[in-house]
Chains A and B, each alone.
Chain A
Amino acid sequence: MKFSYFPGCTDHSTSYEYGRSTEAVFRALGGELVEIEDWNCCGAAATHSINRLLSLCLPARNISKAQSAQVGPLVVPCAGCFNMLKRTEYALKNDEAKRKEIEEIVGFRYDPSFEILALMDLIVNRIGTEKVRERVKRSLKGLKPACYYGCALVRHPKITQLDDPENPQYLDRLMKALGAEPIEWSYKVDCCGADLALTYGNVVKKLVGRIVSMAKEAGAQCIVTSCGLCQANLEMRQEVDLPIFYFTELMGVAFDVEGRDQWWKKHMISPKRLLESLGLA
C-alpha cells in the first residue's frame, strides 16, 4: 500500500500536528507515504484570485512530479491543497485547450489515469472502515464529535467528487468506526471565512462563532476537521473553548500511537482535559 504524498506548506507550520498524526496513523495502517520530490505550494485561493492560469500550473508541477515517480495515486491530507489539485485535474481532463496550455508551460504530458485522493476518502473508502475498526486499540466510546467538512472537500462537487455536498458522511462513518458517537448538526459544510481571518478578523469571528456554538448546542464535545485553515480559524476565533481536532489525531488516539503529547502541545485549546475525562489521554 504505497502512495505518492503531498504534505502542503502548512505541514511544518500551522498544521504541524496534522502532518505528524497523518504519518503515524498511516504507519499504523501499514501504508507507506512517499513525499513528492521537491513539491511546491498548491497556490491556494490567493493565486486563483489573481491569476487563474498560474493557479492551474502550480498544482500541475506537483501532478507532473507525482505522476513520473510512479508510486501510486497521490494522497493529500489538507482539504485546501486537495481542492487546488483537483481544480487542475478538472481542467486537464475537461478542457483540451487548457490542458495543452498547462502542459506546455509546466513541461509534461498529463496521464488521465493518474488519481488524486483526499486522505479522508482514501481511509474511509479505499482502506475501508472495516480495516480501521480492526486497528482500534482503545474505542473512543463516549466521545461526541461534530464532524466539520468545511468547503474545500465537498465543493464544487463537479471538481472534488467527494461525498454529498450538503450532508456528507465520510467523516461521520470514520468516527463511528473509531467508536465515537458523532452528533447530527446542520453546519458541517458552512464556511469558516478562510483567509479573511487575516484581513477581516471580525467576519471570521462571526462565522466561526456560529459554527462552534451550533456544534455545542447540538451536544458536541469537540469538532473534527481535515483542513489546516479551518482548524486554525475554529480554534483561534471562538470564545467557548471547544477543542478542535484533525481527524487523524482522533485516529491516533484510537490506534494508541506514540508521540501524541507533541500534537496536543500545538493546540491553542488543549484537548487533554476532554480526553482525560473519557480515559483516553
Chain B
Amino acid sequence: MESVVETVKTGTSFLEEAKRRSGEDLSLCYQCLKCTAGCPTAPFMDVRPNNLIRMIQMGRKEEVLGSSAIWLCVSCETCGTRCPNKIDIGVLMDALREMAIEEGIPAKERNIHLLHEAFVQSIKRGGRVHEATMLIDYKLRSRDFLTDLIPGMMLFLKGKIPLFPSFIKGREEIKRIFEKCEKK
C-alpha cells in the first residue's frame, strides 16, 4: 500500500513540476493526437508527443526524461500552433530537456545534446557562433568523425565556413550573462 501512495506522490509531483516549469496546463490534454499528426519528427521518436503528455499526467518521470522524443523535437512549433487546448508543447519540450539535464539523466539522443552544447559553448567563447570550431568541438565530443564530411567539405569549398572566428568586443558581457544564467 505504501508503495502505491509513494508512486501517486511522485507522479503528481512530476506533473506539477512539468506544469510549473513549462507554464502549460498539461491536464487539459484530451488526446486528440493533433500534435503527433503534424510533428515532423514523431515517426522517429520512441514516444509520440501525445503519449508523452499522457505519461507526464501519469507521473512516469524516468521514461519521459529518458525518452528520445524530448531530444528529437526540433522546436518547429507545429504541435503548439495546432493544439485545440493551447498547450505549447514546444515550450514543454524545452522544460523537459532542462529537467533531464538537471537530474543528470543521460540524453537518449546523446549527439543531439552534444551538438547543442558545442553550439552554446561557441557563443560563450566569442559572442557569435563560429561554425568551423563549433563543428570540430562537436566532432571531438561525439567522436563521430565521419558523418557529414562531404556536406561539410562542400560548404568549406564554397567559402561558406570561414576559418577564423569573428569575436565580438563585449565578450566579458557575454560571459557575465552566461554566469548569471547558469547559476539560476
- A14 B131 Cβ-Cβ under 8 A: yes
> Whole-angstrom distance between the alpha carbons of A76 and B166 in the complex?
20
Interface size of B by CB at 8 A reads: 57
A interface SS class = helix
Contact status of A199 and B111, CB under 8 A, knowing A38-B170, A40-B128: yes
- B170 A51 Cβ-Cβ under 8 A: no
- A14 B160 Cβ-Cβ under 8 A: yes
> Whole-angstrom distance between the alpha carbons of A193 and B78 in the complex?
12
Of all chain A residues, the one with the shortest Cβ separation from B177 is A57
- B123 A13 Cβ-Cβ under 8 A: no
Q: Does B104 contact A (CB under 8 A)?
A: no
- B74 A193 Cβ-Cβ under 8 A: yes
For the complex formed, measure the closest distance between the CB of A145 and the CB atoms of chain B, giving whole angstroms. Answer: 22
B interface SS class = helix
Of all chain A residues, the one with the shortest Cβ separation from B88 is A156
- A48 B166 Cβ-Cβ under 8 A: no
Q: Does B174 contact A (CB under 8 A)?
A: yes
Q: What residues of chain A lie closer than 8 Å to B90, measured between beta carbons?
A: 156
Q: Does A54 contact B (CB under 8 A)?
A: yes
> Whole-angstrom distance between the alpha carbons of A44 and B134 in the complex?
14
Q: List 11 A-B contacts (CB under 8 A).
A: A13-B160, A40-B123, A40-B127, A41-B129, A45-B116, A49-B116, A106-B177, A155-B78, A156-B81, A199-B115, A200-B112
Name A's B-contacting residues (CB within 8 A): 9, 12-14, 16, 38-41, 43-54, 57-58, 61, 105-106, 151, 155-157, 165, 189-191, 193-201, 203, 207, 232, 236, 265-266, 268
Given A40-B168, A44-B119, A265-B158, 20 additional A-B pairs, CB 8 A: A9-B129, A40-B123, A40-B174, A41-B123, A41-B127, A48-B94, A49-B116, A51-B181, A52-B95, A57-B180, A151-B77, A156-B77, A189-B78, A191-B78, A193-B40, A196-B41, A199-B111, A200-B112, A232-B155, A266-B158
